[in-house]
A and B are shown apart, each in its own frame.
Chain A
Amino acid sequence: MSDTVIRPARVALVGNPNSGKTALFNALTGARQKVANYAGVTVERKEGLLTTADGRSISVLDLPGTYSLRARSPDEVVTRDAVLGKLAGETAPDVLVAVADATNLRLVLRLILELKAVGRPMVLALNMYDIAQRQGLRIDLEGLARELGCPIVTTVATRKRGIEDLVAQVDALARAGDLSAKSTWREPDAGEIRQAHREAQRILKAHVRPPERPDTLTGKIDSVLLHPVAGLAILLAVLFLMFQAVFTWAKPVQDLIDQAFQALGGLVAHTLPPGLLTSFLTDGVISGVGSVLVFLPQILVLFLFIILLEDLGYMARAAFLMDRIMGGAGLHGRAFIPLLSSFACAIPGIMATRVIDNKRDRLTTILVAPLMTCSARIPVYTLIISAFIPSRTVLGVMNLQGLVMFGLYGAGILSALGVSFVTRRFLWRGAVEPFLMELPTYKAPDAENVARSLFLRGKIFVTRAGTIIFPMMILVWFFSSFPGAPAGAKDPAINYSIAGHIGRFIQPAFAPVGFNWQMIVALIPGFAAREVAVAALGTVYALGAGDAQPGMLATTLAHHWSIATGLAFLAWYVFSPQCASTFGVIKRETNSWRWPVIAFGYMLALAYIAALIVYQIARAAGLG
C-alpha cells in the first residue's frame, strides 16, 4: 500500500475498562502522547507515537474502555465509530489491539468476537499476565490464537514486558496491510449477545484452565470496605484525609506561586512607566494567570488522590457506597467523584463528569457542581467571617467562626442535592438510568502511570482554564479600567469605569438584599475568579496596595457594612453565578450555550433569594 509509506500506520487500543489499557498505552508510547478532544464531542482523544525496532513510526490511539461496540455513552460511541472508521475526521485504524485482563477474560472475549466481525487485522494483548501466572491460571495461547484467528501477545504493561513483541506483531500486520475483509458488524440483539456468550464460554472452557490460587484478597478487602457501616465510615475517613491534604499540603506551594506572581507584577510595574500597558500587564495578564495557577497545587493534590483511588480500584466502591445516598437526590453514584473534585474547583469537577454514561445524569451533575464550595470561595468567606462573625466559643468546644464556615459548606452541599432533586422531579421525570458497574480487583497503583496521569490532568487544567480564563480576565480588566479616572479625581479609578457605572446603575435592584454599589462593583471583577472580589473590595474602598491585608480590609468592611449586609453577602456567595470560566467549561462540555445560561440563571435566582431572606431576617432581628 502506497499511503503506508507516507503516513505512519495507525493502531487503536480497544478493551474493557480496568484492563490496564492506559498502562499499556503509556508503555507503548512513553512521553510521546498528546491529548485533545474528538471533533464536536467532549471525549478525550489520546494519541501517541511509537517507533518500531527498524525505525518505522506507528501512531497509537487509546480508545475509551467499553464492554461492547453497542455504544451507550458518548465515550463508547467514539470507540465504536473509531473502530468502524466512521468517526468524523479520523482514519480507520490499520490494526486493532484488543487489550484484555488475562485474569478476567469472559467479557472481553465477547467483545473480541464483536471486534472480529469488524474485519480489521487484530492482535490480542493478554495484559497483567504476571498476575494470571501467579494465580496459576493456565491459558493455551496457541489454541486460543487459532480459535480467535489472531496473534496473541502476553504483556505486563506496568513492567514493560511483552511490549517489543506486541510492537513486532502490530508492525507485521500493518505491513501486510490486509484490509480486504469487509465489516459485517451490526448491533447484536439479546439473542445474539447470548449466542456470543455461549461461544465465549466454549472458548474459555476449551483453552483456559481456572486459576489454582484465585485472588481471595479482593473479597476479603471488600467485606470491610463495602460493609454498610464500616465501609461508609472508611469512605468518610478517606474523604477527610483528602480534604486535609488538599488544603494543608497545597498551601505552601500556593503561597509561593502567589508571591511569585506578585513579585512579577511588582517588577513589571517598576520597570515600565505607569499607564494603560502596565495596568494591562499587571492587573490583567499577570494577576489573571496567577489567579488560575494558584489553584494548581490543590488540583494536583486532589487528582493525586483521585488517580490513586481509581487505580487501586476503590472509586467503584465509593460509587457503590454513595449510590443510594446520592440516588435519593436523583444523582448517579458516579457523580460522586466529579462533585468531590468540585470542592477544589468546579472546572476539573465538570470535566470529570465524563465518567457518567448517561446524558441526563451528566447534565444534572454539571448543573449542580458549581454549588459545591470551591476553594476560590474560601478567601471571600474568610474575609467576611472575620469581619462580621465574632470569634467566640459556642456549645463549649466549637468556634463560632468555624461553625459558620462549616455551615456555608453544608449549605453548598444541601443546595446541590436540592437542585438535582428538583431537576430530576420536574425536568426529567421518571428517567432513572440503570446502574451497572464492574467492581475491579484491587491492584497496587503503579508509580509511573500515576505520575503520568497526574501530569496529564495538570496540563489539561492549565490549558483548559488558561484558554478560558485569560480572555475573561482581559474583558474584566477592560470593564474595570475604561474609561479612566478624570484628572484630579479623588476616588479610585474603578469608580469611573464601566464597572463603576454598571454598579451604580443596577444598585437599586440590590437594595432589598442590602448591597451597596461598591459591593456590586467588586463583584464584577469577581466574575473572572471569585477570590478576585477580595482584592476588588480593597480597590473600591481605596485601600493602598500595602494596606490590603485581610485584617485591615475586614475592619474597613465592618465599618462600612451592617452585619445584615455582611451575612447577605455570605449567603449570596454560596450560590452566586460567578467565575466566568465555570460557565465557559459548561459551554464546552455540553457543546451548547443552553446549559451555561440555565446554570447562570438558576444560580443567580438562588443567590438573590438567599441573600434577600438572610438580609430581611437579619434586619428584623435588629442587625441592620
Chain B
Amino acid sequence: MIINRKNQVPDRPMHDMLAEPITSPTAPIQGAAEGRLVRLSTARPGDRGVIIEVRAESHPGDHGVGVEELQRRLLEFGFVEGAGIEILHEGAIRRDPIAVRLDDMRIALRRRDAEDVWILLDPR
C-alpha cells in the first residue's frame, strides 16, 4: 500500500494494518479504542486518520445530484474505505472548503459534500 510519506512524521505508525479496506465501521480495528470516529465535514487541519465508511444518506435532494451519485463521485475521487486521509487546509470563510491529502493525492471539497465520509482519527 502506498501512503505518501511527505507529510508524515517519521515515527508515526503507517496504516499498514488497514491495507485491506474495511467496509463496516464496526469491523474490529487495531487501535480503534484510542481514535475517534468523525465525519470528514467536521475535521480540522492537522487531523489525520483512515476512511472507515463512505455513506449515501446526508441531505438527500440537496446536492443537486442524488446522494448515491455524490457517494459514487466521492468513491471515484478515491474517498474509499481504507484510504489514509489528512486535512491540510481550510478556506477563510466558515473554514470552507477543505483541502485534504488522500493517500498520495490532494483533493479540495466542500464540507457539505464531506458529511458522509466517516474517518477514524489517529490518536493525537
Chain A residues at the B interface, C-beta cutoff of 8 Å: 67-68, 70, 72, 103-104, 106-107, 110, 188-190, 193-194, 197-198, 201, 204-205, 208, 210-211, 214-216, 218-219, 222-223, 226-229, 231-232, 316, 319-321, 323-325, 327-328, 333, 358, 360, 430-441
B64/A360 in contact, CB under 8 A: yes
B91/A434 in contact, CB under 8 A: no
A432/B64 in contact, CB under 8 A: yes
- Find chain B residues with CB under 8 A from A103 CB: 104
Can you list 23 contacts pairing A with B, beta carbon distance less than 8 Å? A67-B76, A107-B76, A189-B72, A204-B2, A211-B4, A214-B5, A216-B6, A218-B6, A219-B7, A223-B88, A223-B89, A226-B88, A226-B89, A228-B92, A320-B89, A321-B92, A323-B108, A324-B94, A432-B64, A435-B109, A438-B106, A438-B107, A439-B107
A498–B64 Cα gap in the complex (Å)? 48
Check if B44 is an interface residue, CB within 8 A of chain A: no
- Find chain A residues with CB under 8 A from B70 CB: 434
**Which 4 residue pairs across A and B have the least CB separation, nearest first?**
A228-B92, A439-B106, A431-B64, A433-B64
- Find chain B residues with CB under 8 A from A431 CB: 64
B64/A437 in contact, CB under 8 A: no
B73/A227 in contact, CB under 8 A: no
A67–B102 Cα gap in the complex (Å)? 15
B21/A198 in contact, CB under 8 A: yes
B91/A437 in contact, CB under 8 A: no
A210–B6 Cα gap in the complex (Å)? 11
- Find chain B residues with CB under 8 A from A198 CB: 21
A433/B63 in contact, CB under 8 A: yes
Check if B122 is an interface residue, CB within 8 A of chain A: no
Check if B47 is an interface residue, CB within 8 A of chain A: no
Residues of B within 8 Å of A, CB-based: how many? 51
A434/B6 in contact, CB under 8 A: no
B68/A190 in contact, CB under 8 A: yes
A223–B86 Cα gap in the complex (Å)? 14
A193/B113 in contact, CB under 8 A: no
B99/A439 in contact, CB under 8 A: yes
Contact of B105 among A104, A188, A208, A226 (CB under 8 A): A104
A67/B77 in contact, CB under 8 A: yes
B76/A432 in contact, CB under 8 A: no
- Find chain A residues with CB under 8 A from B82 CB: 201
A538–B33 Cα gap in the complex (Å)? 81
Q: Which of B74, B90, B92, B113 has the most CB of A within 10 A?
A: B92
B64/A197 in contact, CB under 8 A: no
Contact of A68 among B54, B76, B93 (CB under 8 A): B76
Chain B, residue nearest A232 (CB): B92
- Find chain B residues with CB under 8 A from A432 CB: 62-64, 112
Interface positions of B from 11 to 34, Cβ below 8 Å from A: 19, 21, 23
- Find chain B residues with CB under 8 A from A67 CB: 76-77
A434–B73 Cα gap in the complex (Å)? 9
Tell whether A227 pairs with B113 under 8 Å between CB atoms, given A193-B76, A323-B97.
Answer: no
Q: Is the interface of B mostly helix, strand, loop or mixed?
A: loop
A194–B81 Cα gap in the complex (Å)? 8
- Find chain B residues with CB under 8 A from A215 CB: 6
B76/A110 in contact, CB under 8 A: yes
- Find chain B residues with CB under 8 A from A189 CB: 72
Chain A, residue nearest B94 (CB): A324
B108/A214 in contact, CB under 8 A: no
Query: Shortest Cβ distance from A138 into chain B, in angstroms?
Result: 11
Query: Shortest Cβ distance from A339 into chain B, in angstroms?
Result: 18
A440–B106 Cα gap in the complex (Å)? 7
Q: Which of A68, A72, A193, A431 has the most CB of B within 10 A?
A: A193
A189–B76 Cα gap in the complex (Å)? 11
A433–B70 Cα gap in the complex (Å)? 9
Check if B61 is an interface residue, CB within 8 A of chain A: yes
Chain B, residue nearest A322 (CB): B91
Chain B, residue nearest A66 (CB): B76
A70–B65 Cα gap in the complex (Å)? 14
Chain A, residue nearest B61 (CB): A430
Query: Shortest Cβ distance from A34 into chain B, in angstroms?
Result: 32
Contact of A437 among B61, B81, B94, B107 (CB under 8 A): B107
Chain B positions 46 through 65: 1 when the CB is less than 8 Å from some CB of chain A, otherwise 0: 00000000101000011111
Query: Shortest Cβ distance from B105 into chain A, in angstroms?
Result: 6
B106/A222 in contact, CB under 8 A: yes
B64/A434 in contact, CB under 8 A: yes
Contact of A229 among B56, B68, B92 (CB under 8 A): B92
Check if B36 is an interface residue, CB within 8 A of chain A: no
A479–B108 Cα gap in the complex (Å)? 52
Query: Shortest Cβ distance from A480 into chain B, in angstroms?
Result: 46
Query: Shortest Cβ distance from B50 into chain A, in angstroms?
Result: 13
Check if B123 is an interface residue, CB within 8 A of chain A: no
A218–B74 Cα gap in the complex (Å)? 23
A214/B88 in contact, CB under 8 A: no
A325–B93 Cα gap in the complex (Å)? 7
Query: Shortest Cβ distance from A152 into chain B, in angstroms?
Result: 18
A197–B77 Cα gap in the complex (Å)? 10
